[in-house]
Amino acid sequence: MAKESPPRPLRLALVGAGRGGSSLLEALEESETEIVAVCDRNPAAPGIAAAHRRGIPVHHDLEAFLAPCADADLVVDVTGDPEVGRRLAARLPPRVHVLDGTAARLLWELTRTTRAQAEAATRRNRRLERVYELAVALSATGDLHDAYQRVLRCALEVAEAPAGSVALLDERTGEMVLAAWRGFPEHFASFRRWRLRPGGLTTHILNRDSPTIIPDITALEEPVNPLLAEAGVRSVVAAPLRAQGRIVGILYVDDFAPRRFDEEAAWILGLLAEYAALALERLRLLEETRRMAVTDGLTRLANQQEFMRRLAEETERANRYGRPLSLITLDLDRFKAYNDRYGHLAGNELLQTLAATIQRVVRRSDLAARTGGEEFCILMPETETEEAARCAERLRREVAALADRYPERIRQAVTVSLGVATLPHHAEDAEALYRAADDALYTAKRGGRNRTVIHPDLAADGVPH
C-alpha cells in the first residue's frame, strides 16, 4: 500500500498589517502555516517590517495583492474596512476562504491564546530545568557558602527578580541570621541578625507551609523588618526552608517596586525551597562534622591536629613572602593541684573559661588552639615579636583577674605562664618555631610562673608586668 504523503501546510494571506495584523504575524511565527503575502497601504505599519524580516512578500496595493492570494487557502482581513471585504469576495476564487470582522478577530484571539499558552509552558519548563540544574549542583558541592549563593541565584532567575537573601534560624538564640544576599548595597550586610517578633512578618512566613507573596510591604499591618524598608524593598515572595520537619530558615526574593509575583513562580520557588532546605541541612551537618574534626570538644578552640596543619601552612607562607609569624604558647600554672583539689568538672570549667578569655583577647586573624591538657597555643600571622608580647601580657593579666571577675566559677587565683617566639628572628621552620616558643614557656615556668618570656630573653625575667 502506498505511503500517504504528509498534508501541505495551510497557505494564508493577510490584509492589514497594523496592530492586529502584526500580532497575528507574531503569533503564527512558529506555526507551520505558510504566509504567502501581506498587504497594507501604509508602508510604516508595524506588520510590514515584521514581514520583511521574515521574507514574506509585501504589497501596498490591493490589486497587486490579489494575484498571490489566488494560491492561498485562506485570506484574513483585519482592516475592518467593508469595501476591502467586498473586493476580496468579488475577486478571489470560491475555493479561497475569506475571514473578516468577528471571524478574523476570533482567529487572532485563538492564535494569541495558543501562543501565550506555549510560551507559558516553555517558561515553566525552563524554570523547572533551572531547579533541576540547581539540584545537581548542590549534590556535587561540599561548600555551604557556595550552596547559599547557588540557591539564591536560581531563585532570582526563576522569579526574574533583582534581589534576594537567605536567612537561617539560630535555634540557640531565636534569631534570624543573614547567610547570603544579592542585589543589595554593601551596608545591607551590616545588619546580620534580627530577633523574631510575635506577629512580625518573619514569624508569619515561618508559620506558613507555602510561600508568602507580598505585593507591597508598605500596605502590611504586621511589623516589617526595618532592614527591608531601609534597602528600598517594596514586594516580596518568601518561602520557608524546612528539613525533616525542622525550620531551617527563609528564602527571600525581593523587588524594589510594588509587584505581585506570579503564582507559578511562587509554586516553583516553594519546590526549590523544599529541596534546597534538605541540601543545605546536609551541607551544614557535613560542615559541622568537619569543624568537629578540627575542634577541641571541651574548649571549642582548634585542636592539636588543626594547629599543626596551620602552623606548617602559615610558616611556609611567611617564609615565601618574607613576612613575620609569631607564636605564643601558654600553660595554666599548677593546674594539676587545682584539678586534684576541686575535681575534674571544676578543672574542665576552668579550661573553658580560659579558652573564652583567649578568644576575647586574640584577633580574628589569629588561630587559638588547645594542644594538650592545660596547654594552649596562639598563632599570629603578620605579627612581630613586640605586638605578640603585648598580646601575651594582656592575656596574662586577664587570666589573673578571672578569680575576681568570676568568683562563683573560679575557686582560687589562677595564672598562666607564656612563651613568645617569632619567625624569622627566632626560628626558620615550623618545628623550630614551636620549640623556641615552648622553650620560652618553660623558662617562664622555672622563673616563678605568671610571666611572659620572649625567646631570646631565656635568661631574663621576661616582659615586665
* Edge-to-edge strand ranges of the sheet holding 452-454: 367-370, 375-381, 325-332, 416-423, 452-454
SS3 266: helix
At residue 395, φ and ψ (nearest 5 deg) are -65, -40
Whether omega for the bond prior to residue 57 falls within 30 degrees of 0, making it cis, is no
What count of Cα atoms within 13 Å lies in the side-chain half-sphere of residue 413? 7
The residue count for the chain: 465
Cα 161 from Cα 182, distance rounded (Å): 10
- For 317-331, give the DSSP string: HHHHHT--EEEEEEE
Task: Compute CA distances 41 → 47, 67, 84, 312, 442, whole Å.
Answer: 12, 16, 12, 83, 102
Beta bridge partners of 77: 15, 100
CA distance 421 to 392: 11
3-state class (DSSP) for residue 132? helix
Measure the CA–CA gap between 386 and 360, rounded to whole angstroms.
20
- Distance CA(257)–CA(251), nearest Å, equals 19
Distance CA 234, CA 279 (A): 30
Report d(CA 448, CA 28) in Å as an integer.
94
Catalytic machinery residues:
374
Q: Do 430 and 311 form a contact (C-beta atoms < 8 A)?
A: yes
The DSSP annotation for 172-232 comes to TTTEEEEEEEESS-GGGGG--EEE--TTSHHHHHHT-SS-EEES-GGG-SS---HHHHHHT
Look up cell 607564636; give the residue.
Answer: 327
**CA 65 – CA 37 distance, rounded (Å):** 7
